[in-house]
Amino acid sequence: MATPKLLAPRLDTPPPDTSDSGESQRLPDALVSEHIRRLAVCAAVGAVLWTYGLAMDAIVRPITIAVSIPRPVLVVETVAIAVSLIMFAYARYAPDAHARKTDAGLLYVVLNAAAVALLNTLTGLAAVSSGRGLSWNTVVILVAAMILPATPRRMLAASLAAASMDPLASSIVHLSGAPSASLATTLVFYMPNFACAVVATLPSHVLHRIGRRLRRAQEMGSYELVEL
């Protein structure tokens, strides 16, 4: 009759972390790497979209509808293209850690929001008293929330900063003496920006919850059984 054997896990095997409270817990490298690749793609798409806007404002609109586009608009779009290309190259090829690339991605979101707000100001959107639809910054904020592997707190901070760019531009218009909406109207007009900033934390919460579960699964799979 075979002698029964007692098996136990190796003592040096790390136990799985059962805490759900750590928002800053590191995500699995494979998951973060995938999102950084998406960040590079997003920056490339941003460069294409800004290039499209520049081509429309510099060539198509002046020829087709004889509209003169202010030179500062073209400058903002050109700078936005350059920033997007730099972000793409950094996210795609730089050897820096994923955490630094994520922080750079958050800064990229805020810079894009500032560029959109400047265009709203230069084209008169920030000076009108009646709404003309949502600002493109709502799209910027929500797309960033689906791409960047930032913690919910960092995502909220960056999203609020991005959402504040339009009201800030409107305040600049008001201080310059140009016709502008009242403070109350401005807050109501750009309230969707801040609503999107709050919603932007939801994908981050989901991503980090999935990341914690994946890490636990990896840790459980790392157990080794040995004979006692």
In this prediction, residues 47-51 reach a mean pLDDT of 95
Q: What is the pTM of this model?
A: 0.77
Q: Sign of torsion, CA 105 107 108 114?
A: positive
Identify which has the larger pLDDT, 202 or 126: 202
Q: Return the pLDDT at 180.
A: 62
Q: 150-191: per-residue pLDDT in tens?
A: 888 999 999 999 999 988 888 877 777 666 666 677 778 889
Q: 94-106: per-residue pLDDT in tens?
A: 998 888 999 999 9
Q: How many CB atoms lie within 10 A of CB 190?
A: 27
Alpha-carbon gap, residue 27 to 50, rounded angstroms: 32
Burial 1-31 (b: 16+ CB within 10 A, else e): eeeeeeeeeeeeeeebeeeeeeeeeebbeeb
Contacts of 190 (CB under 8 A, 6+ apart): 135, 163, 166, 167, 170
Indicate the average pLDDT of the chain: 80
Q: Return the pLDDT at 70.
A: 85
